[in-house]
Amino acid sequence: MKVVLLCGGKGTRLREQTQSIPKPLVEIGGKPILWHVMKSYAHFGFNDFVLCLGYKGRMIKEYFDPQRSWRHQDLIVDVTCEGAPRLRVLGTEDEDWRIGFVDTGEATETGGRIKRVERLVDGETFMVNYADGLADLDVRRLLEFHRARGKIGTLTVVRPLCQWGVLELNDGTVTRFREKPRMNEWISGGFFVFESRFFDYLDEDCVLERGPLERLAADGQLAAFRHAGFWECMDTYKDSVTLNELWRGGSAPWKVWLNNDGR
């Protein structure tokens, strides 16, 4: 099953780092967040990736292929522990990954990027991820939920922490202060599963989160998988600092590949 990773955005809210590198290469614990996302999927047996490149996409290719054998064409690289070819990821352990690199345009919107890799999905059920969020999510359970619901699409919903402290008031007097409580509302966590029919909802200029998902919901074809565990999106420099602190402190819940039970 293909895992489509959206790696082409400019990451303007993280411009302290993305002026020089693409957002998927911003590091956590010395590894790009893209590596962390791929490592999580591969742990559960999903290791066939399609990377939708755009802004500074060449640098992402060079991360996986530092010899630059790809030049300027779209590229499929097999990363295997046995046989040939073998490709080592910047001196790390060999990974059993198959990676497709596709230039989907620097200014292309999220839905358009997915549409442009339709030929690589080839009629399959497939997964999509923004490649900037980390969770202790078991994607096998997400897939099982998707299949049980029988919808065209499933998104993972999460309840993030509020960015601000919350005050409770009574007749103009503060009665309680809660530091960054968990929100009551659910938001998209960026882990999707789609049937190939979803491509009928896409065109090469669309924004995934607007027309396509809105139409899918209006048609009753969008399921929501609730994830109550850890989730954090690396959207700002502060987010990257937080995730690095978790990694250095040995409390990185998304590091599921080190847990025998996959949770």
Alpha-carbon distance of 236 to 230, in angstroms, equals: 18
**3-class SS of residue 69:** coil
Average pLDDT, the chain: 86
Instruction: Return the CATH fold of 2-258.
Output: Spore Coat Polysaccharide Biosynthesis Protein SpsA; Chain A (3.90.550)
pLDDT of 163: 67
- pTM for the predicted model, two decimal places: 0.84
Res 73 pLDDT > 80? no
> Average pLDDT in the 117-141 region?
94
Could you tell me the pLDDT band of residue 159, with boundaries at 50, 70 and 90? confident
Q: Going by DSSP bridges, is the β-strand pair 75-79/97-103 parallel, antiparallel, or unpaired?
A: antiparallel
| Residue-wise pLDDT tens digits, 192-217 | 999 999 999 999 999 999 999 999 99
> Average pLDDT in the 25-35 region?
95
Contact 189, 158 (CB under 8 A): yes
Could you tell me the pLDDT band of residue 68, with boundaries at 50, 70 and 90? low
| Residue-wise pLDDT tens digits, 228-237 | 999 999 999 9
Res 165 pLDDT > 90? no
Tokens linked to 98: 């198959």
Residues near 225 by Cβ (< 8 Å), separated by ≥ 6? Answer: 141, 142, 145, 146, 154, 155, 156, 157, 191
Question: Residue 40 belongs to what H/E stretch?
Answer: helix 33-43
Res 19 pLDDT > 90? no
Res 75 pLDDT > 80? no
Res 45 pLDDT > 90? yes
| Residue-wise pLDDT tens digits, 96-122 | 888 999 999 999 999 999 999 999 997
pLDDT of 87: 42
Contact 34, 25 (CB under 8 A): yes
Alpha-carbon distance of 98 to 153, in angstroms, equals: 24
Could you tell me the pLDDT band of residue 174, with boundaries at 50, 70 and 90? confident
pLDDT of 142: 98
Res 7 pLDDT > 90? yes
Please choose, from the candidates 79, 67, 82, 76, the residue with its C-alpha nearest in 3D space to the C-alpha of residue 35.
79
Please choose, from the candidates 13, 33, 10, the residue with its C-alpha nearest in 3D space to the C-alpha of residue 22.
10
